Structure 1
């Protein structure tokens, strides 16, 4: 009921009440009753006015509350719409990344198959060449044919056979070189593809982490905490299986290494050569960052070697074998400087190893690393890296080069040819030994205690 109608009803009740008083009362009492009615009526009017103002204020407040609720509902709807759009976008990106990874893996597999085919062709050519060499050797060792037997040109028959075989051998050598060049290119292409696939995987993981953060489900990661300093640190922590692990030297970024676990401790492999599948004729940046595959032939990288060796006193173990099956092992105390000192190596013969051949000349201690595009060797008139191939700590262009070209199988016809561009080291009696396998690995000196 509205306020004016309520007031009228109250006044009517008051009038009827006043009329109900007895008429024989005195005029003075009647006058007093009307004053009381006026006071009550005035009070009721004020009360009604107050109620009306209160109702008006309440209506205004309700309108404000309704407006705010509507705005809040619109905001919530907009946030839900943006969340749905974001979820759909992230889902689409994830599917694209997975599709690209699959394509990269397929392409890498195809390149790998092609590389295997080229290897087989190269092996077949080598086999054919070896058979030809055996035939020539047989002809050369058989009793000489009558020197009077010759063709019209006066050239003995045996000489013509040898000349023909030599031409065929030269052609085969040329084909082998072409196949090797193709193999090197395929290998570089495969490495580039593997690098791209790895980068895409890193981006994919990064995007997934971002998605997790956006959805409020991010979890604290301790992937970089608690990593071992090197392979021997892994051994101390109880790891006994050789293989690929991730380590993090002091004040360095984590990187993957090949660990050789022995009964003495864990060795970190920094260079491995066993079949010539990886070209070591690389430039400065490649030797700085590292190249190859930890599952095959590789160079760990000068930056990583420096990060490992600067942690304390380290021991370098050099393991060699030649084509005759002979093996050599040598130990040195080693430190490798940083790039500002051109990754100079400091070597000292390890007294605990006893007498040993000096595979790497300790007189070259403090010699910087040198490549074809960074001539840091001590030879004034020649670039040893260009002359001998690969990168190494060249004091001069002799002594050793464990990063030279991988030599092919020696033969009687090629023993007279220079092998200085291949992997070699010089013995104490001055003999150059062509190498078949090389393994360089380091560990703290405490491994022998």
Structure 2
């Protein structure tokens, strides 16, 4: 029974009660049974309505309590999930720190092994020098009639040669181990970098959505290459930030001459940087602009899209002899495997052809991307490094740095290093290389 009906019954009961006589003479009169029945029936209905109202209120209270319990349980679950996520983030952070520590320890171990290997190499060179001095002095008998010491010297030379061969083999094994450890270290560093990239990806996406990256690029006003810096008045060689068209900014090493600015895309001088890298590293670039480096195929392609360009190659061998050549060149994008198109300038005045025109149009190759013309072998895997290989024979300026020219005397070992082939067909090991590009308007 609803509340308005209860109030009506109360009013009826009150009215009936008001009809009873209140004076002394009225008390003697008998109350009719109809009035009594009405009052009783009203009281019963009132009690029943109150009971129904109380039951309904209790049911509503139970419903509210159940909803509150469900809400509290949901809140507890959310707090538990938040704690689990916080613990997972802390665990991932500790894992990243542990991998960085392992990478640092591995790098230190590699450094110590390289120093030991260098010391062994110096000892070998010292012993070979002493042996050459011994062989340069003739041994004769007391009567000066015959070289009786020759057989002994021959046995000594044979023993030394066997010892040298064993040491060279051990050095090669140590070098192979160091290269495997270097690849493992690169893989660890790549994993650490991926962890860092993922942790900051959300922030970068939010910046991209706000258009901040486009705003920075639009307002930067950066030069398109080193020659553009020269045109703007810059005359000091060094590291600068440039931004070619339709490309993000990146740092380059500029060489400023009296005629213009050259952008250096490859530099090797002391073997401090390992050039035995895979496709992704050659695509993005590696090394230090203050030492040895490869600028990256993507960056070189963005520089060459501007128009006609000049590639100048400068080399020096172990004897200190310098060679250079200049080419008009163009580099395709990754969809065409970074194919290199070039033609040597006839008016450059440089005598040697560093790369023959037969190599024009060749795609770039690495150990994990075999794009060379050799059908039965991967030139990058055979010779080391990445290059525009034809048949594995003409040049490789990104091969291993020649640290042991005396020990590594075999032809195949020499061809694993930096080399180029002269017009006479002679393979020459290199000491330094420098590749730089500029627009065709730059003249020397």
How much is the aligned-residue C-alpha RMSD, in angstroms? 4.1
Which residue, 349, 356, 372 being the options, matches 2:351?
356
- The equivalent of 1:423 in structure 2 is 418
* Residue equivalent to 2:158: 163
CA distance in 1, matches of 2:232, 2:88: 40
Q: Structure 1, residues 95-120: CA drift from partner, whole Å, max 9, x if none?
A: 99987776666555444433332221
Asked whether the equivalents of residues 240 and 254 of structure 2 are also in contact (C-alpha less than 8 Å), the reply is no
Rate the CA distance shift 1:446–1:98 in 2: closer, same or farther, 3 A: farther
Structure 2 residue aligned with 1:224, among 193, 197, 217?
Answer: 217
Moved more, 383-392 or 344-353: 383-392
In the alignment, what sits opposite 2:396?
401
Secondary structure of 1:448's partner? coil
Q: Distance in 2 between matches of 1:113 and 1:237?
A: 44
Deviation at 1:175, TM superposition (A): 2.9
Task: Say whether residues 1:445 and 2:440 are aligned partners.
Answer: yes
Map of 1:119-268 to 2, 5 A cutoff? 119-144=114-139, 156-203=151-198, 205-206=200-201, 220=212, 222-225=215-218, 226=220, 227-239=222-234, 242-252=237-247, 254=248, 256-264=250-258, 265-268=260-263
Tell whether the 8 Å contact from 2:325 to 2:350 is kept in structure 1 after alignment: no
* Counterpart check, 1:314 vs 2:309: yes
SS of 2:415's equivalent? coil
- Gapped regions of structure 2 (runs ≥ 5): 1-74
Moved more, 282-291 or 350-359: 282-291
Cα distance in 2, alignment partners of residues 361 and 244 from structure 1? 31
Q: Alpha-carbon deviation of 1:212? A: 9.7
Q: Distance in 1 between matches of 2:342 and 2:273?
A: 27
Q: Which runs of 5+ in 1 are unaligned?
A: 1-80
Contact kept, 8 Å, 2:326 with 2:350, in 1: the verdict is no
- When normalised by structure 1's length, the TM-score is 0.66
Trace 1:3-402 onto structure 2 (pairs within 5 A): 106-144=101-139, 156-203=151-198, 205-206=200-201, 220=212, 222-225=215-218, 226=220, 227-239=222-234, 242-252=237-247, 254=248, 256-264=250-258, 265-379=260-374, 383-402=378-397
**How far 1:236 moved relative to its partner?**
3.9
CA 179–363 in structure 1, closer or farther in 2 if over 3 Å, else same: same
Shift of 1:422: 1.9
- TM-score, normalised on structure 2? 0.66
- Report the Cα distance in structure 1 between the residues aligned to 2:349 and 2:174, rounded to whole angstroms: 45
Task: Find the aligned partners of 1:93 and 1:266 in 2 and give their Cα distance.
Answer: 52
Match of 1:441, SS state, is: strand
